[in-house]
Amino acid sequence: MALDGTDGADVTAMRARELGRKSVVVGDRVALVGDTTGAAGALARIVRIAERTAVLRRTADDDDTTPEGRLERVVVANADQLVIVSALADPPPRTGFIDRCLVAAYDAGIEPLLCLTKADIGTPDAVLGYYAELDLPYVLCRPDSDLTEVRAALAGRVSVMVGHSGVGKSTLVNRLVPDAFRAVGVVSAVGKGRHTSTSAVALRLPGGAGWIIDTPGIRSFGLAHVSADDLLHGFGDLVEGTVDCPPNCEHTPAEADCALDAWVAQGNADPRRLASYRRLLASRAGEIE
């Protein structure tokens, strides 16, 4: 996304040598010099990368004691909305993955939006019930829907779309941006999608109504870059329950005085949410896969 000089044209550019090792990621706002006409064969140079307002990150692994966990990947820069795409069936929704995306979104200061696809063959009740206490915004998609609700949620935003392969993300992108030509995969007999997108790409919505950044289908969303304390930000329905916890409580099952168990037992939060939070804590500590 150029800061100046392109007049809306698609420009091919390379990173200038003076930027050194500073990487350019999808969503970065950059300044260009050289031929910015967008004409065939034209080449510009990226000479400046603006300060990023938000950075969505993930790691390959949760455990920051492992090489994979320490390897931090920037998914996208400067997005203001994370669209978590999940199918309601074929493959079935995975709330554990959604929970991870929510943690990453809140850690990055990006607003989440849950996009539930394949609403023609599955119902959203179970998923929405699981997140009832969060008041999480969501949209439903069917193959025959006109996507009015989705377009309204994306209008004027820079939205990054994440999801497992096979959930219909690329199909949705192609419907929103008809000339995107994103590769569409199929779901195998065991309910697993095949990876089709191989790189993140920013696409302007028709009419200049905003941007969507399509990302490759991912199998995991490692959170080693998120502190144990900040993991709780993705579980807003549990935060109030920690008020009565002793100082430095780690909120694990081993903490006899952790107030979260009583909070959930009193019906203030779904037990599955506490279990998911503790799985993330254990995974981050390298205790479970």
* Position 115 in a domain: yes
Both 75 and 119 in one domain: the answer is yes
Q: What is the pLDDT of residue 178?
A: 87
Is residue 20 in some structural domain?
yes
Q: How many helices (H) and strands (E) does the chain have?
A: 8, 11
* Distance (Å, whole) CA 245 – CA 247: 7
Of the candidates 138, 145, 149, 188, the residue with the CA atom closest to the CA atom of residue 166:
188
179 lies in a domain?
yes
pLDDT at 136: 95
Of the two residues 232 and 22, the one the predictor is more confident about is 232
102 with 191, same domain: the answer is yes
In whole angstroms, what is the distance from residue 262 CA to residue 92 CA?
Answer: 31
pLDDT band at 198 (very low <50, low <70, confident <90, very high): low
User: Is 256 found in the same domain as 129?
Assistant: no
Q: How many residues does the chain have?
A: 289
Kindly state the average pLDDT of the residues 95-111. 95
Three-class secondary structure of residue 208 per DSSP: helix
Dist CA 210 CA 214 (whole Å): 13
Distance CA 270, CA 225 (A): 26
Task: Read off the pLDDT of residues 119-143 as tens digits, 9 standing for 90 and up.
Answer: 999 999 999 999 999 989 999 999 9
What integer pLDDT is reported at residue 97 of this predicted model? 94
Cis check: omega of the bond before 91, within 30 degrees of 0: yes
131 and 66 in a single domain? The answer is: yes
CA distance 91 to 249: 37
Q: Is there a single domain that holds both residue 137 and residue 108? A: yes
Q: What is the pLDDT of residue 189?
A: 38
Which range has highest mean pLDDT (6-10, 34-38, 148-152)?
148-152
Q: By residue range, what is the domain housing residue 170?
A: 55-214
**Calpha distance 214→222 (Å, rounded):** 19
Same domain? For 38 and 59 the reply is no
Q: Which of 162, 182, 214 is the last residue before a domain boundary?
A: 214
List Cα–Cα distances, 234 to 107, 125, 159, 246, in angstroms: 8, 21, 19, 21
Does 96 lie in the same domain as 189?
A: yes
238 in the same domain as 113: no
**Which range is least confidently modeled, 11-25, 116-130, 207-221?**
207-221
Q: What is the pLDDT of residues 259-279, one digit of tens each?
A: 999 999 999 999 999 999 999
Same domain, 104 and 203: yes
Q: Which residue has the higher pLDDT, 56 or 190?
A: 56
- Give me the CATH number covering residue 243: 1.10.40
Q: Confirm whether 166 is domain-assigned.
A: yes
Q: What is the pLDDT of residues 61-89, one digit of tens each?
A: 887 778 877 788 899 999 999 999 999 99
Q: Closest Cα partner for 218 from 29, 57, 2, 36? A: 57
Rounded to an integer, what distance in angstroms lies between the CA atom of residue 112 and that of residue 98? 10
| 149 and 61 within one domain | yes
Q: Report percent pLDDT > 70 for the chain.
A: 90
Residues 180 and 257 occupy one common structural domain: no
The owner of tokens 């993330």 is 280
Structural domains of the chain, count: 3
- The answer to whether position 222 is within a domain reads no
Q: Which residue has the tokens 């492992």?
A: 66
134-143, 151-160, 181-190: least confident range: 181-190
